[in-house]
Amino acid sequence: MASGDRPQGGMTEAEFKGLDVKLRRYFEWNRCGSPEDLAQDTILRGLKRLAEGQVNYAENPYSYFLGIARNVLREERKKPRAEAALDEDWPDRRDQLNAVQWRILLRECLDQLDPKERDLIVRYTLDGAEKAANQCGLTQNALRIRVSRIRGKIALCLRGPADSV
Amino acid sequence: MGLGGNNRVPPDRRDETSMVAYLLGQLPEDEAAELESSFFLDEGLFAALCSVEAELIHAYLRGELTGPRLRRFEEVYSGSTPRGRRLAAEREWFEAAKLVSGEKRTGGAVTRTRWWRGFFSTDGAAPKFAMVSASLIAALVFGWLAHRIIGVEAALSSMRADLAARGGTPQRVASFVLTPGQTRGDSAPKRILLPGNTALVRFELQLDGPAKQQAYTATLRAVDGYEVWSGSVFPEKGTMTATLPAGVLVRNDYKLTLEARGAHAAVADAPSYVFSVVGR
């Protein structure tokens, strides 16, 4: 699906990616165990219905998919809870090493930032939004917008998903 | 105050109060539904909600949450749930920011030491004054060294505590070996059946020959091209390991491709790996 093409549902690839980000957060904030699976299920159901000729009645396609997501959430909550992990689980030392590497990588990406941007995001993280905004002479909203852009740059550096807002 | 809990809520913080209540599952159902409808339509509101969540987590990491709010936060952001993993990811941010901040403060202490050097003067200075100055400078230098050592020790202790904590949180890991170069046209892709309650899936990515990059970005896409996961992988002794949450895998065909980290296109001869998840 090329960027800018308008498939069924009238949404571009970028809009579908944005929808997927919101759906994952929606299921995560509703305490579901597999938000990625449920987001994918929601999108697939919506596309299937559109392909079957159902009309998207919502003003905004996102509202249409939110309606489907609510049904998916309702079904998920009716399911029995997953069984607890078996006793043969074992600690994963490779994941511990990767966590340390990840932290080093994060620090390297912070070092690559412009010093003012690095200072801003460090203050925001360690001192809190209100204090950092006062120190930098910004409103909290302006600070959050700047932080969001900086974290987007870091996400590119890490080549991670864009939904790590 | 603020995210730590506040009984008097100024008008401009009402929205943030509602957002925090929503994130902690304490907003009434109808208000939560209204907020969800709003953030699906309003990009700015969605971004603000994500920021408020990050700030809530940072407040927790700074030790600012107390009482019922702290208990509720720990209940919601617990263990190996998606919210727990988000807390873990933000904790990495927080620790990286602390490391960077700690180096900046240490740089300031070096500057103050140089400024004190002006007192060490042998041009007409009384011996007593010279001795006092020398003692003061020596004390400052030793104090700076102790501060550096304490800072480094604190950072190492934090990392050791994190490692120990992770060691006490066992996770079900399913491991598979993938070999490069399989395509749907050559032979059947590797078929994977994930055990129940698998939390993490580890793919050992075998290489044909030595790795050409020091680090790669691995991107996992479903057969329709939809990206489901990406992360960094590092070659080590002829192989690489990609570990991803089991939740991203459903019954489908997948292809995992590698890019040089920082690039935006696949390296021309970088390996790719194809497999099918046939069930869980």
Q: What is the H or E stretch that residue B261 is in?
A: none
Q: Which residue has the tokens 């407040």?
A: B59
Same domain, B203 and B270: yes
Q: Are B220 and B228 contacting, i.e. CB atoms less than 8 angstroms apart?
A: yes
Q: Which domain holds residue B205?
A: 173-279
In a domain, A34, yes or no: yes
* Token pair listed for B91: 């904790």
Mutate to test the interface with A, among B20, B50, B80, B94 (most CBs of A within 10 A): B50
Q: Which domain holds residue A42?
A: 8-78
In a domain, A45, yes or no: yes
pLDDT for the residue A94: 40
Chain A residues within an 8 Å CB radius of B62: 126, 128
Q: Are B55 and B3 contacting, i.e. CB atoms less than 8 angstroms apart?
A: yes
Chain A residues within an 8 Å CB radius of B93: 106, 125
In a domain, B84, yes or no: no
What confidence category does residue B71 fall into, taking pLDDT thresholds of 50, 70 and 90?
Answer: very high
Of B40, B59, B94, which has the smallest distance from its Cβ to A63's Cβ?
A: B40
Q: Would you say the C-alpha torsion B71, B72, B78, B84 has a positive or negative sign?
A: negative
Same domain, B62 and B156: no
Pairing of strands B173-178, B200-206: parallel
Which of the pair, A37 or A59, is modelled with greater confidence? A37
Counted domains in chain A = 2
Sheet strand arrangement including B216-222: B190-193, B272-279, B252-260, B216-222, B227-233
Q: Are A107 and B82 inside 8 Å of each other by CB?
A: no
The H-assigned helical ranges of chain B are 14-23, 29-41, 43-61, 67-76, 82-116, 127-167
Torsion of CA B255, B261, B263, B269, to 10 degrees: -50
Same domain, B97 and B117: yes
Q: Which CATH number is A149's domain given?
A: 1.10.10
In a domain, B124, yes or no: yes
pLDDT for the residue A30: 95
Interatomic CA distance for residues A110 and B96, integer angstroms? 8
A55 touches chain B (CB under 8 A): no
In a domain, A71, yes or no: yes
- Shortest Cα distance from B109 to chain A (angstroms)? 18
In a domain, A165, yes or no: no
Which of the pair, B35 or B174, is modelled with greater confidence? B35
Same domain, A60 and A110: no
* Token pair listed for B24: 């902690």
- Shortest Cα distance from A158 to chain B (angstroms)? 7
Same domain, A118 and A60: no
Interatomic CA distance for residues B156 and B173, integer angstroms? 27
pLDDT for the residue B35: 94
Interatomic CA distance for residues A83 and A72, integer angstroms? 21
Q: Are A128 and B3 inside 8 Å of each other by CB?
A: yes
Counted domains in chain B = 3
What confidence category does residue B267 fall into, taking pLDDT thresholds of 50, 70 and 90?
Answer: low
Q: Rounded mean pLDDT of chain B? A: 76
In a domain, A86, yes or no: no
In a domain, A3, yes or no: no
pTM of the predicted structure, to 2 decimals = 0.55
Closest alpha carbon within chain B to A88? B172
Q: Rounded mean pLDDT of chain A? A: 78
Q: Give the residue-averaged pLDDT of A86-95.
A: 40
Of B41, B54, B62, which has the smallest distance from its Cβ to A60's Cβ?
A: B41
Quote ipTM for the complex.
0.78
B231 touches chain A (CB under 8 A): yes
Chain B residues within an 8 Å CB radius of A129: 2, 51, 55
In a domain, B83, yes or no: no
In a domain, B191, yes or no: yes
Q: Which of B45, B76, B107 is the last residue of a domain?
A: B76
pLDDT tens-digit map of B79-129:
788 999 899 888 888 888 888 887 665 544 444 444 455 555 555 556 667
Q: Are B227 and A125 contacting, i.e. CB atoms less than 8 angstroms apart?
A: no
A81 touches chain B (CB under 8 A): no
Q: Would you say the C-alpha torsion A159, A152, B38, A12 has a positive or negative sign?
A: negative
Interatomic CA distance for residues A103 and B94, integer angstroms? 10
